[in-house]
Chain A
Amino acid sequence: MLILDGLQYLGRATINFCGRLGRGNLFIARVLAGSFSLIPHFQLIVAQLYYVGVFSLAIIVVSALNVGMVLGLQMYNTLVNFGAESSLGPVVALSLVRELGPVVAGLLFAGRAGSALTAEIGLMKATEQLSGMEMMAVDPVRRIVAPRFFAGIIAMPLLAAMFSAVGIGGAYFVGVGLLGVDEGAFWSQMQAQVDWSEDIVNGIIKSVVFGVVVTWVAVFEGYDAVPTSEGVSRATTRSVVYASLAVLGLDFVLTALMFGNN
């Protein structure tokens, strides 16, 4: 009997998972299909860019500064044992541009902007604002979801770039300013060893992918939420958890594809 219950639970969970996956794919197809109609309404994307991008800046900058300072300190302590403290610049820059910038910015973006998007769309559904829009013959996917989705995709690489830049600034402050690493060596070695296409472009590609995934999960969870206070709360939690796991999982896959042959 216990085995049968377990099998039933597994079957139900699998059917639910497949159903949600299918709904999520159909949903994103609707968003993309309605994207052309957004061209004359580009100001909707700009407004959302302000909400998801500018409002996320504070947490991105503060986190990046701390991560950069800690990275600078830890790397210095390791490199100085081999007399290679002049390599602090490239080590920190490569860590931030390739990995920490896109990944940590993606996680923070999921927590700050992703949760806000899910809660906002979920509450609009719970308070019948989306139904009201449909009754006025306005498609909520085109008017509400699509601008937020594209704003997230644009905002994420910009935030990741800012994270890397501020992080490098933090490492510079600790390494050069406090620990006495040579300033010329810090910048010149960074310039020599960080490659545009190999490192920076791959970092940008990662952040764009994370932007698509985090925003997709956030807007879908909001739109698919059960329209009650408990339903919106659960959807917001799911949004952050799924988006964070997706960022971490995809980071490994992308890293393997981009740098696996080196």
Chain B
Amino acid sequence: MLFQSGALFTSLNVFDNVAFPIREHTRLPESIIRNLVLMKLQAVGLRGARRLMPNELSGGMARRVALARAIALDPMVIMYDEPFTGQDPITLGVIMKLIRMLNDVLGLTTIIVSHDVQEVAAISDAIYLLSNAKVVAHGKPRDLEDSASAWVRQFMHGLPDGPVPFHYPAGDYARDLLLEAG
């Protein structure tokens, strides 16, 4: 599981954060743990940052370390909570490729929860759109982009007008302002 905040252990440095699940669940010697950790950190581009503490990392770097930690034990299923939020364009592209590559090479099942529709659509096999705790549409990315549903179209293309209102329901704006002034 990759948390949106990264959820790194603040008392451990980057290396020990990634090594944590390996040390907890295996009895591998430290030399092998070191190599495994360096391989995972190399995959997310942070091998050189292994001695930094979490408070010395940017938000994007923290999430990349968390990704390295999430794949440390080569799991069968990985869940990502908003992996693309706050990433710079270069890192965003690398992370997208990495998620897809991990999925294909290691034969994983990957579940991504995200509001970044274009990025998710670019790497997903299937998308489920949720609203009010219900699945309102599902299918392949191409099918959803061409959907006849106004709701799905508004969401997939980020349109300001449509069935989903931008404003939370409220009374008349001008009247509200005048009442406040009075």
Interface residues of A (CB under 8 A from B): 124, 127-129, 131-132, 135-138, 143
Partner of A131, one of B7, B21, B24, B66: B7
Assembly CA distance A223 to B36 (angstroms): 32
Are B1 and A129 in contact, CB atoms less than 8 angstroms apart? Answer: no
C-alpha gap A194/B10 in the complex (Å)? 48
Does B3 sit within 8 A of A, measured CB to CB?
yes
Q: Does B20 contact A (CB under 8 A)?
A: yes
B3 & A132 in contact (Cβ 8 Å cutoff): yes
Instruction: Return chain A residues, CB-CB under 8 Å to B10.
Output: 124, 127, 129
Contact present for A135 and B1 (CB under 8 Å): yes
Contacts of B5 in A (CB 8 A): 127-128
Q: Supply 12 A–B pairs (Cβ within 8 Å), ascending by A.
A: A127-B5, A128-B5, A129-B8, A131-B7, A132-B1, A132-B3, A132-B8, A132-B66, A136-B21, A136-B25, A138-B20, A138-B21
Chain A residue contacts of B7, Cβ below 8 A: 127-129, 131-132
**Does B151 touch A at the CB level, under 8 Å?**
no
Nearest-CB residue, chain B, relative to A143: B24
Of A132, A136, A138, A143, the most chain B CB neighbours within 10 A belong to A132
Query: Is the pair A136, B3 in contact by a Cβ cutoff of 8 Å?
Result: no
- Contact at B21–A129, with CB atoms within 8 Å? no
With the chains together, A129 CA to B69 CA distance in Å?
13
Complex Cα distance, B69 from A137, in Å, reads 13
B interface residue numbers (CB < 8 A to A): 1, 3, 5, 7-10, 20-21, 24-25, 66, 69
Shortest CB-to-CB span from A238 to chain B, Å, is 23
Q: Which of B9, B66, B69 has the most CB of A within 10 A?
A: B9
Chain A residue nearest in CB terms to B81: A128
Is B24 in contact with A138, judged by CB distance below 8 angstroms? yes
In the complex formed, the residue of B with least CB distance to A120 is B11
Q: Which residue of A lies closest to B21 (CB)?
A: A136
Question: What residues on B are CB-neighbors of A143 within 8 Å?
Answer: 24
B9 A136 Cβ-Cβ under 8 A:
no
- The CA-CA distance from A135 to B2 in the complex, in Å, is 9
**Which residues of chain B come closer than 8 Å to A136, judged between CB atoms?**
20-21, 24-25, 69
Nearest A residue to B22 via CB reads A136
Closest to B25 in A: A137
Contacts of A138 in B (CB 8 A): 20-21, 24
Q: A127-B7, A132-B9, A136-B24 are in contact. List 5 more A-B contacts (CB 8 A).
A: A128-B5, A129-B8, A132-B1, A136-B20, A143-B24
CA distance A252 to B87 in the complex (A): 59
Residues of B within 8 Å of A124, CB to CB, are 10
CB B4 to nearest CB in A, in angstroms, measures: 8
Determine which residue in A124, A135, A136 has the highest number of CB atoms from chain B within 10 A of its CB, and name it: A136
CB-CB < 8 A to B25: which residues of A?
136-137
Closest-CB distance, A15 to chain B (whole angstroms): 29
Q: When chains A and B are docked, how far (Å) is the Cα of A143 from the Cα of B11?
A: 13
Which residues of the other chain, B, contact A131 by a CB distance below 8 angstroms?
3, 7
CB distance from A149 to the nearest CB of B (A): 17
**Residues in chain A near residue B8, CB distance under 8 A:** 129, 132
**Which residues of A have CB within 8 Å of B1?**
132, 135
- For B9, the chain A residues whose CB sits under 8 A away are 129, 132
